[in-house]
A and B are shown apart, each in its own frame.
Chain A
């Protein structure tokens, strides 16, 4: 395993010996990690490896069993409200209210993050335009397609202009054009100093945007480096370190 930490003194996201235990199951096992300002850190691993649990702990949604977390200079467990003001999150379940429209979700976000009405309206309009949500802006989230719901949740994460973004599988179930737009927005944000931490299964997208690749298996970090330091292709290295694909010949397939 390679231990690599981006410039320790400039870490926006930092955790030490992070553990999350559920009765007799350890979901996250002594994770230590630093993510620098302006980095795009991609957290890779199979389903159930502990990616979402880690992300939930980093965003203050889940208390760790032990270990310490600092995000944007704040102790996550001691300053939950201040932390929420500084970060943007796209949660796994998107966190939308069925009874609010796409537009109302953005207006709600602006209001509770303390933006004035004019600024909120202006940012919301730009995001709706950028993410091709203008036509569906008056659609209730409960009646939106999955793609629209994901774009709405993504827009909510960006709207308050957070210092750090935490995105749980942002590119899954998204059309290629929106995926490209989201990638471009994230890379532009990172260039301006926003730290991005995301989980994904789409390795081709990861290769394009990551400045730090972290692989996790059974709750433990098994790789942490810039993509340039990978000894082979990302896919091959992932298969070698994290999960080897099982090849099963289903002989009955095509027999009828």
Chain B
């Protein structure tokens, strides 16, 4: 038993250090803006956010110990079983599900809600134990792009679709597409709002474009004979290759304007304050204040293009070009450390 307690204690420490999911949602533009703007929707919207949050939080803590190391430790079969049973309780979600079960018994929440939450937590727990490396069948078939930046853009696309931001934007886009396909007569303004939401969902990623490159990837960028603006342009091309198709069923030109504004402003934290990111999590942006300003700029760009004039695409394009040139220069500066 003493050995199991030692392992659980160490595991708890490692799990707490790596628990970035909550932080990532707090620093994510989409969640911050949704929570602020949709206060009138009451508890329901927060419940939805909570459910989305639950998914990345509900991982198996025992994953923190490399399987080969765990197998080498001289633990008895009984101790291993005990570890298996006790380790999920290091995850606060397990306690939340248990607490919700007590509420369900006392009639304070419905059994249906409890079952939905518990089901999601269990599904995420089981999925986190599956080997989730990119498989050739899916990831090799990323489209090719013309020019010498082809492979970099393809890599950036793969990185982008391994964040939850993309899937959040995809759901919003699909709901807009469904409305169009079903012939629902929504006011045209609704599609602009949806467009802003789609770009907002992707905008935190625009603030940390190098977040998934890792230490090795960043070192390689410094070795490649490319100008800084080319490296940023490859990042931006991947962003636009995702954002533009997702806004096509909504308000496409407004989507292009909003996406250009998102990456133009996103270059500042991308280059100035790079933050490492985790796959299958929501991207963590540069902070709430920057996030709100970023969201305001995105909304302004989309609404200007949609309601005023398509010519507003030109200042968006000019801002993106200026930002790419300026931050490209900064990217070329030699590292200090």
Q: Which B residues are CB-close (under 8 A) to A142?
A: 133-134
Q: Given the complex of chains A and B, what is the CA–CA distance between A93 and B155 in angstroms?
A: 19
* Contact residue among A80, A85, A108 (Cβ-Cβ distance under 8 Å from B152): A108
State which of A55-63, A174-182, A208-216 sits at the interface with chain B. A55-63
Whether B214 sits at the interface, judged by CB under 8 Å, is yes
Q: Which A residues are CB-close (under 8 A) to B154?
A: 100, 104
- A61 and B223 contacting across the interface, CB-CB below 8 Å: yes
- A98 and B139 contacting across the interface, CB-CB below 8 Å: no
Whether A97 sits at the interface, judged by CB under 8 Å, is yes
Instruction: For residue B201, give the distance in angstroms from its CB to the closest CB of chain A.
Output: 21
- B223 and A138 contacting across the interface, CB-CB below 8 Å: no
Whether A99 sits at the interface, judged by CB under 8 Å, is yes
Interface size on B, residues (CB 8 A): 34
Q: Which A residues are CB-close (under 8 A) to B149?
A: 111-112
Q: Which B residues are CB-close (under 8 A) to A91?
A: 216, 219-220, 223
The residue in chain A whose Cβ has the minimal distance to the Cβ of B213 is A97
- B225 and A111 contacting across the interface, CB-CB below 8 Å: no
Q: Which B residues are CB-close (under 8 A) to A98?
A: 212, 214, 216-217
Q: Which B residues are CB-close (under 8 A) to A89?
A: 223
- A97 and B219 contacting across the interface, CB-CB below 8 Å: no
Whether B129 sits at the interface, judged by CB under 8 Å, is no
Whether A173 sits at the interface, judged by CB under 8 Å, is no
- Indicate whether A95 sits within 8 Å of B220 (C-beta atoms), given known contacts A61-B334, A62-B335, A101-B140: yes
Residues of B186-231 contacting chain A, CB below 8 A: 212-217, 219-220, 222-227
The residue in chain A whose Cβ has the minimal distance to the Cβ of B156 is A99
Whether A5 sits at the interface, judged by CB under 8 Å, is no
Instruction: For residue A171, give the distance in angstroms from its CB to the closest CB of chain B.
Output: 19
Q: Which B residues are CB-close (under 8 A) to A143?
A: 133-134
Whether B78 sits at the interface, judged by CB under 8 Å, is no
Q: Which B residues are CB-close (under 8 A) to A100?
A: 151, 154-155
- A96 and B216 contacting across the interface, CB-CB below 8 Å: yes
Of all A-B residue pairs in the complex, the 6 with the closest CB atoms, nearest first, are A95-B220, A108-B151, A111-B148, A84-B225, A99-B158, A95-B219
